[in-house]
Amino acid sequence: MRPLQSRSSAPPPVSRANIQHGRAKPAALPVVAPVVAIVGATGAVGVELLRCLEKRRFPLAGLRLLASARSAGKTMKFGGDELVVEELNEQSFEGVGIALFSAGGAIARQYAPIAVRAGAVVVDNSSAYRMDADVPLVIPEINPETIARHHGIIANPNCCAIVAIVPLWPIHRKNRIARLIVATYQAASGAGAAAMEELSESTRAYLAGRNYAQRVLPHPYAFNLFSHNTRIDPRTGYNDEETKVVNETRKIFGDPDIRVSATCIRVPVLRAHSIAVNFECERPISPDEVRAILAGAPGVRVVDDIEKNYFPMPRDATGEDDILVGRIRRDLSDPSGKSIALFAVGDQLLKGAALNAVQIAERVLEGQASTESIPQM
């Protein structure tokens, strides 16, 4: 097995034995620890992938950190050790069992097939493969059964789709959601580490009365908000982010007929996406029923204190695994009693990206363990 890469030439400080000592939630079956590669390890999502693997005690036989030539030789901390970042190349995946990709669609399209040919299962955070018919698009709380149908690549959904629909799934199962309308308030971190820096720097410049020339996002960001920075489809008038929410919700729910509309907005918040959600069920549903369903929903925490006017906020969701849900109320625009309005906030670097990807990887390992445990006839 390839060891974890360490800065020194001394024996690797983190051995297979001491990183396999347990997990946050023990697997039902013994798993074979893989070598894991993180493509885009230095990015906003990559850093969180590293933290999630460590926090969840993901079983590792080795960890390979990959990024562009700009980052080659940098070190990153993992489990108290310093790992060296390597430049991604076609040989990067030798011996790798699971490759977590988080470096954009172009890199995924070029390197994911190479990783699969080398024997890895790829979990990709970009949109490159999400709508491919033979690629599972997975939120483990919703459609974990689709993981088994992968052909080497599994896609992690769009972060707004994840934050919006994790709380909606248990409702949809009880009383089908026929129509869904979302409006997003998306943080800087959704556009990567450089956009977070741009928000901080442009805010400092604004307060100091200095000019600031934006480099990452298309509009002035300090004390401003703007329509999501993706291309608008001239046919529909929807931008790419909105189209992803529409199409990916249908694919993940396995319900091509659900009617979905989205308006995606970038707001000057550093981290965690907020989403105003209105949905219409097939049958009447009350806010109390929704609260009761969400009280037991995996990956969801109800924050709905009407007396204190305390509801989900990005600063409370930052660093949290759960999606926070509140403002649960009847949608007064629908007198039939079938519609509900709510507000959901989630750390899109975690559940919207890194955490969801690591949860998928855990399921892949468990699936491999259960396949290996089936006696061969």
- Footprint of ligand 2RA on this chain (CB under 6 A)? 158-160, 186, 190-191, 241
Sole binder of ligand NAP in the list 44, 112, 199, 341 (CB under 6 A): 44
Of the listed 52, 160, 273, 281, which one is catalytic? 273
Tell me if 137 contacts ligand NAP by CB under 6 A: no
Element (H, E) at 276: strand 273-281
d(CA 98, CA 105) in angstroms, rounded, equals 18
Q: Which entry of ligand 2RA, ligand NAP, none binds 142, CB below 5 to 8 A by partner kind?
A: none
Residue number, 38 or 328, with CB nearest to ligand NAP: 38
Q: If you ran DSSP here, which 8-state letter would residue 14 be given?
A: S
Edge-first strand order for the sheet with 273-281 is 226-227, 259-266, 177-186, 273-281, 339-346, 323-330, 300-302
d(CA 238, CA 25) in angstroms, rounded, equals 40
Q: Which entry of ligand NAP, ligand 2RA, none binds 70, CB below 5 to 8 A by partner kind?
A: ligand NAP
- Nearest to 350, CA basis, from 49, 144, 65, 123: 49
Residue number, 19 or 262, with CB nearest to ligand 2RA: 262
Region from 38-46, 113-121, 218-226, 305-313 binding ligand NAP, contact rule CB under 6 A: 38-46
Sole binder of ligand NAP in the list 60, 61, 107, 153 (CB under 6 A): 107
Q: Which entry of ligand 2RA, ligand NAP, none binds 157, CB below 5 to 8 A by partner kind?
A: none
Q: Is 159 a catalytic residue?
A: yes
Phi, psi of 327 (to 5 degrees): 50, 40
Tell me if 123 contacts ligand NAP by CB under 6 A: no
* Least separation in angstroms between CB 83 and ligand NAP: 14
Alpha-carbon separation of residue 3 from 9, 12, 151 (angstroms): 12, 6, 27
For residue 307, count CB atoms less than 10 angstroms from its CB and return exposed for 0-12, middle for 13-18, buried for 19 or more: exposed
Between vectors from CA 319 to CA 317 and to CA 321, what angle results, nearest 5°?
75
Of the listed 52, 150, 159, 172, which one is catalytic? 159
Q: Is the dihedral of CA 183, 187, 188, 193 positive or negative?
A: negative
Sole binder of ligand NAP in the list 52, 58, 71, 93 (CB under 6 A): 71
Residues 6+ away with beta carbon under 8 Å from 375: none
Q: Are 98 and 123 in contact (CB under 8 A)?
A: yes
Q: Which entry of ligand 2RA, ligand NAP, none binds 186, CB below 5 to 8 A by partner kind?
A: ligand 2RA
* Least separation in angstroms between CB 191 and ligand 2RA: 5
Q: Which entry of ligand NAP, ligand 2RA, none binds 359, CB below 5 to 8 A by partner kind?
A: none
Q: Which entry of ligand NAP, ligand 2RA, none binds 46, CB below 5 to 8 A by partner kind?
A: ligand NAP
- CB half-sphere exposure, 276, CA atoms < 13 A: 6
Residue number, 155 or 285, with CB nearest to ligand NAP: 155
Q: Is 219 a catalytic residue?
A: no
Region from 184-192, 304-312, 324-332, 335-343 binding ligand NAP, contact rule CB under 6 A: 184-192
d(CA 246, CA 2) in angstroms, rounded, equals 42
- Map residues 140-179 to x or -, x wherever contact with ligand NAP holds by CB under 6 A: -------------------x--------------------
Alpha-carbon separation of residue 366 from 25, 35, 144 (angstroms): 12, 15, 11
Question: DSSP 3-state helix, strand, coil percentages of the chain (rounded to 5)?
Answer: 30, 25, 45
Sole binder of ligand NAP in the list 5, 125, 202, 318 (CB under 6 A): 125
Q: Which entry of ligand 2RA, ligand NAP, none binds 318, CB below 5 to 8 A by partner kind?
A: none
CA-based end-to-end distance of the chain:
30
Residue number, 102 or 339, with CB nearest to ligand NAP: 102
Active site residues: 159, 273
The binding site for ligand NAP (CB under 6 A) comprises 40-46, 67-68, 70-71, 88, 102-104, 107, 125-126, 159, 189-190, 192-194, 348-349, 352-353
